[in-house]
Amino acid sequence: MMVPLIIDLAGRHVVIFGGGTVGLRKARYFCREAEVTVVSRSFLPEFSGLDLQCLEADLSVMDDPALAALVGGAFLVVAATSDREMNDRVGRAAREAGAHFNNAKGERGDTLIPSVVRGEEYLLAVSTGGASPAVPRFLREHLQATYPHLDTMIRVEARVRAALKQTVPDQAARAAVLRAVLRDPEAWAWLADGEDRAYERIKERYL
């Protein structure tokens, strides 16, 4: 049974095997947060624009000690080649090294990479465990279309919460006000006029 976690990858090492489209997608996912090394015989040109290390090597002729050296010390290892058996071999090496493992094709590892919706103030992750890749994308697009001002609402809610702490001692009562703001269609509409204007209107109505 898997559970979702949000992990700080600063200073962590992620090793990705595969320089194709899947490896590129995985690299883009991690390279802003972690130290990433991509291992492959060849690389798509897009890799050159990413903040990561590309290591040219042929996994098919690599012996086990060399593979173990590549994954040693890694926090996460990702197998993103088109060869299932090769990916599974990487997985065995990752487990022996004590690293977490994600497999794009082959035996599932202990880590899934979700579809992510990222704003300035929030991070949401959705996964179906690989059963339906279209569903996370649908939910992501629906959220972005339905709540285009979500970042602004989060900032306004933080200001309302801070104001409530000064005037409403009961935590349950404060929570009720915050929920009421979120359920108010007019409050969401006010966000289009900017954070300060929306906050003043919400304060007038609820504080």
pLDDT < 50 stretches in the chain: none
pLDDT of residue 46: 97
Distance (Å, whole) CA 122 – CA 158: 13
pLDDT of residue 29: 95
Determine the residue type at 201: R
Q: Strand 35-40's sheet: what is its strand order? A: 53-56, 35-40, 13-17, 76-79, 100-103
pLDDT of residue 136: 87
Helix (H, G, I), strand (E, B) or coil at 105: coil
Distance (Å, whole) CA 103 – CA 120: 29
Q: H-type helices in 58-149, by residue range? A: 64-71, 84-97, 134-146
pLDDT of residue 102: 97
**In degrees rounded to 5, what are phi and psi of residue 183?**
-90, 5
Residues 6+ apart with CB under 8 A from 192: 149
pLDDT of residue 117: 86
The CATH architecture that domain 13-113 belongs to is: 3-Layer(aba) Sandwich (3.40)
**In degrees rounded to 5, what are phi and psi of residue 10?**
-60, 125
pLDDT in tens, 99-142: 999 999 999 999 999 888 889 999 998 888 878 889 988 998 89
Helix (H, G, I), strand (E, B) or coil at 106: coil
Own/partner pairs, 37-41, CB within 8 angstroms, 24+ separation = 37/13, 37/70, 39/15, 39/70, 40/81
Q: What share of the chain is helix, strand, coil (3-state, %, to 5)?
A: 50, 15, 35
Alpha carbons within 13 angstroms on the beta-carbon side of residue 131 total: 5
Alpha carbon of 74 to those of 78, 92, 102: distances in Å? 10, 14, 12
pLDDT of residue 30: 97
pLDDT of residue 116: 86
The CATH architecture that domain 114-146 belongs to is: 2-Layer Sandwich (3.30)
Percentage above 90 pLDDT, the chain: 86
**Cβ-contact 131, 108 below 8 angstroms:** no
